[in-house]
Amino acid sequence: MGDISIRVEGRAGRITLNRPRALNALTHAMANEIAGALDAWEADAGVDLVMIDGEGERAFCAGGDIVETWRAGRAGDFGSGRRFWADEYRMNARIAGYPKPYVAFMHGFTMGGGVGVSGHGSHRIVCETTQVAMPECGIGLIPDVGGTHLLSRAPGHLGEYLGLTSARMSPGDAIHAGFADRFVPGADWGDLKADLIRTGDVGRIPEHAAPEAPLAARQEAIDDAFEAADLASIVARLEASDWGHEVLKALRRNSPLSMASTLTLVRAARRCPGIGPALRREFRFSWRASESGDLLEGIRAQVIDKDRNPTWRDDLDGVRPDDVAAMLAPLGEDELVLPEH
């Protein structure tokens, strides 16, 4: 079946990610195949909806395949990663604007690039095992694939909290934060998929009570800390609180440059909403991340050597506004161009 299975079954265009040993991590080729399928099915009267899921029990999709980006970057080739991001982001925008229902079954780990192929869909389904996160600051990137767009729409300042800390959302938290729509018990997924294939009718997706959302109970405290003007001020508020010490541990693990840039990007997405503007802003950071940021060191520490001890270019209180501005400056002729669908 290869890394991805694309086919039509009944009334559904089906996409199944098939790299379970790699937690269905998304490759450049897989992103392009998804985009091609969406183009083909848009005009196909026999396809009423698109359904995406993943093989294996552990993950729908735990992110993008970043090892090749690291290898290329270490060799001085920054272009291959940039091409991957450009094509992936175009595919994310395609999903967000797709004219047919797009149903994502988000089991297990649904992170980073996995959010990109699910979180912009029209019908996002979670189950008991779902864990959603945007963990990019831990590898020196930013919550991309339209992540800053989704984070900006979360209640209060929950978006800043989730983006900076890389915190994992439970099924209830994912619904509360706007990353998912409905909870359906995993035992019912087989019958639901069969029903959607047979009928092509998303109105048959059942309504279940959403599970408890632990983050909702902490909303006031999170807002109080993460409404602060900058990263250093957020850290100061957490240090002065009686609850923020575990959160500070997460912030001290992540790239300060990435977190400061994420703060700017999430707030920019709140001021200037829309998936397209968010992706263009994110691409500016991604385009520079290997050459000028912390990405190669972050991937080395987390994925290659797995020592979990990255040497970031900045201290937690040492990121200058000029450094953030340089990572997010317009790219001129290299700006991301999105499809006009």
Per-residue pLDDT of the chain (341 residues; tens, 9 = 90+): 699 999 999 999 999 999 999 999 999 999 999 999 999 999 999 999 999 999 999 999 999 988 889 999 999 999 999 999 999 999 999 999 999 999 999 999 999 999 999 999 999 999 999 999 999 999 999 999 999 999 999 999 999 999 999 999 999 999 999 999 999 999 999 999 999 999 999 999 999 999 999 999 999 999 999 999 999 999 999 999 999 999 999 999 999 999 999 999 999 999 999 999 999 999 999 999 999 999 999 999 999 999 999 999 999 989 999 999 999 999 999 999 997 75
Please indicate, yes or no, if residue 277 is contained in any of the structural domains.
Answer: yes
Residue tagged active-site, from 13, 108, 112, 113: 113
Please indicate, yes or no, if residue 339 is contained in any of the structural domains.
Answer: no
Please indicate, yes or no, if residue 65 is contained in any of the structural domains.
Answer: yes
> Domain residues for 262?
4-334
What Å distances lie between residue 143 and 230, 265, 278, 333, CA to CA? 17, 9, 10, 23
Q: Are 202 and 103 in contact (CB under 8 A)?
A: yes
Domain count, the chain: 1
Residue tagged active-site, from 48, 88, 136, 173: 136
Residue tagged active-site, from 33, 53, 144, 282: 144
Please indicate, yes or no, if residue 340 is contained in any of the structural domains.
Answer: no
Please indicate, yes or no, if residue 303 is contained in any of the structural domains.
Answer: yes
Q: Is 64 a catalytic residue?
A: yes
How many angstroms separate the CA atoms of 302 and 307, rounded? Answer: 7
Residue tagged active-site, from 64, 172, 200, 244: 64
Question: What residues contact 40, with CB distance under 8 A and at least 6 apart?
Answer: none
CATH code for the domain of 139: 3.90.226.10
